[in-house]
């Protein structure tokens, strides 16, 4: 395994850890009632930290896909 592949794998592990933390920090629903239409909120905008975490999660997913494709291309 060459140096580039090791670096890509370590980067992928770090991004996966950040993605897990980012998903776990996001606002969760209040039980199963909200899943079936309860809760009374139809639309709510994301603000502040919630909005940052949302876009940061999307960014991390894109980086993870890119790293996975790069590992696939450069792995021997």
pTM (2 d.p.): 0.75
Range of the domain at 53: 3-74
Domain total of the chain:
1
Strands (DSSP E) along 1-76, which ranges? none
**9-47: pLDDT as tens digits:** 999 999 999 999 999 998 765 555 555 665 555 566 778
- Distance (Å) of CA 23 to CA 1, 5, 27, 35: 31, 27, 9, 18
Residue 32: what pLDDT? 52
Q: What is d(CA 68, CA 8) in angstroms, rounded to the nearest whole number?
A: 8
Note whether 53 and 25 are within 8 A (CB): yes
Residue 28: what pLDDT? 65
End-to-end Cα distance, the chain:
8
What is residue 34's three-state secondary structure? helix
Residue 23: what pLDDT? 92
Residue 49: what pLDDT? 85
């Amino acid at each position: 395994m060459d140096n580039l592949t090791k670096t890509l794998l370590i980067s992928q592990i770090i991004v996966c850890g950040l993605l897990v933390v980012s998903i776990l920090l996001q606002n969760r629903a209040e039980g199963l009632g909200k899943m079936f239409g309860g809760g009374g909120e139809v639309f709510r905008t994301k603000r502040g930290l919630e909005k940052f975490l949302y876009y940061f999660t999307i960014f991390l997913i894109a980086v993870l896909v890119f790293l996975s494709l790069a590992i696939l291309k450069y792995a021997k």
